[in-house]
Structure 1
C-alpha cells in the first residue's frame, strides 16, 4: 500500500473515531443540540409570519437559509479545531509521522463534515413539521439540497483550514467568529437580501453564506418564492460558479498553507504556547 493511501486510510479511521466520540461525550452532545434547538425556537416564532403579499410564510423562507448558514459555520468549526490541535501539540505529533499532516487533515474533514450532518439532521427533521410552504415532497428537491451541501462543504472547509493555520491560539478565534457573524447578518438568512442597500448586497455576494442559502432555497422552496430574490432568479449557474471558485481556491491554498505551518511547528513552539496559556490562567 502506498504511503499516501495509508495516510488517507489512517485519516479516515481517525475522523470516524472523533465523530463517534462526539456523539458519546456529554459536552459534545450539548454542542450538537444547542444551535439546532436555538434555530428551531427562532423558526417557531417565524413559522406563520407572513412576508409581503405572497402565500409563503417567512418561516419557510428562513428554513433553507439556516441550513446554508450552518453549512458555512463548519468553516469556523474547522478553524477552531485546527487551532486547538496546533496549540496542544496534536499537529506536531502528526507532522512526526510520514504523511501525517495529510492523514490529520483527512480525519478533520470527515469529523467536521459528519458533525455538521448530525447538526443539520437535528434541525431539519423537526423543522419540516413546524413550517408549511416548502416543496420538500419532490425528489429533485433533496437531490438539489445534497448537491448544494456537498459543494458548500468543499467551498468552506478548506477555507476553515487556512484560517485555522493563521491563528496560533484558540483565544484568538473571536477575531474570526465576529466577522463571520457579520457576514451572516447581511446574507439574507433571516430576511430576503433584497431589503438591504445595493452595496451591502454586493458585499454579501462575495461570500459563500449567501450562495449556500440561495442554493438551498432554490431546492426546498416552490417556484413562486423566487420573487423575493435578486433579479427574481435562483441563479443556479452563479451559485455553482461562486461556490466552485471558493472550493478551487481553498483546495489549492490549504495544502500549501498547512505544509508551511507544519514546517514551523516544533516542540519549543508548543511549549512556549503552553507556558503563555498557563500564565493567563494564573
Structure 2
C-alpha cells in the first residue's frame, strides 16, 4: 500500500477511536450535557421575546447561531487545544518520528473533531426541534442547506485551528486564541440580530467565518420571515459560500507551512523542557 494512503487510513482509524473514547468517557459526557442544558436553558428564557418586526421567537432564532458558533469554537479552539496538549506530552514528537506520522496524526484529529462537532450539534439541535416551534420548516431543503454549511464550516475552521495550534507554546497560551474567538461571538449576531450593532462593527463581523456560519445555519433552519433582521434582508447564500470557501483556502495554505515549521522544531529536549516547566507550575 502507498505510504501516504496507509497514513490516511491509519489517521481515519485513529480519529474514530478518539471519537468513541470521547463519547464513552463519563467526564466528557457530563461536560457535553452541561453545555447543552445550559445553552438550551438560556434560549428558553428568550422564548417569550420575538425578533424585531416579526412574531418569531427570539429563543428559536438563536438556535442556529449557537450551532454556527459551536463549529467555530470546536474547529479553532478545539483543534488548537489538541495540538497544544499533544505537543507538550510528546505525542507530536512521536508522530514526527514515524513515516508520514504527522499526516496520519492530522487526519485523525480532524476526523475526531469533525465527528465530535456533528454529535454535539445533534445533541443540541434534536431537543431544540421539540422545544422551539418553527425550526427546519423547509423540509429536505433545510437539511441540505444545513449539511453544506456544516461541511464548509468545518473546512474553514479545522485547518485554521491547526495553524493556530502550531503557534502556541503551551496550554496557558490558549487564552490568546479563546479571547478573540469569544470577542467575535459577541459581534457576530449569535444572541441578537447583528443589524442592532453599528455598521462598522457589522463590517468587522463579516470578515470572519463565525458570522457567516451563523447566517448559513439561520438560512437552513429559520422561516423566510426571519430574514427581515438580516443585513440587506437576505440570507446571502452565495456570499456565505464564498467567504467560508475563502477561509478554507487560507487555512489549507497556512496550516501545512506552519505545521512543518513546528515539526522541525520539535525534539526530545524541547518536550523535556516543557514538562519541566509544567511541573514547576504545578
Counterpart check, 1:241 vs 2:231:
no
Counterpart check, 1:38 vs 2:38:
yes
Structure 1 match to 2:21: 21
* Cα displacement string for residues 136-192 of structure 1 (whole angstroms, at most 9, x for unaligned residues): 351100000011000000000000000100001011111111110010010000000
Whether the 8 Å contact between 2:51 and 2:229 is mirrored in structure 1 is no
- SS state at 1:179 partner: helix
**Structure 2 residue ranges without an equivalent (≥5):** none
Structure 1 match to 2:152: 151
- SS state at 2:249 partner: helix
**Given the two structures, how large is their TM-score scaled by the length of structure 2?**
0.97
- Pairwise CA distance, 1:48: 2.7
The root-mean-square deviation of aligned C-alpha atoms, in Å, is 1.0
Whether the 8 Å contact between 1:32 and 1:115 is mirrored in structure 2 is no
Farther off after superposition, 79-88 or 50-59: 50-59
- Pairwise CA distance, 1:223: 1.1
- SS state at 1:188 partner: coil
Measured in 1, the distance between the counterparts of 2:170 and 2:234 equals 43
Structure 2 match to 1:226: 227
- Pairwise CA distance, 1:51: 2.3
- Pairwise CA distance, 1:260: 1.3
**Structure 1 residue ranges without an equivalent (≥5):** none
Structure 1 match to 2:254: 253
Measured in 1, the distance between the counterparts of 2:193 and 2:127 equals 23
Whether the 8 Å contact between 1:135 and 1:221 is mirrored in structure 2 is yes
Give every structure 1 segment of 4 or more consecutive aligned residues whose post-TM-superposition deviation is greater than 4 Å: none
**Given the two structures, how large is their TM-score scaled by the length of structure 1?**
0.97
Structure 1 match to 2:48: 48
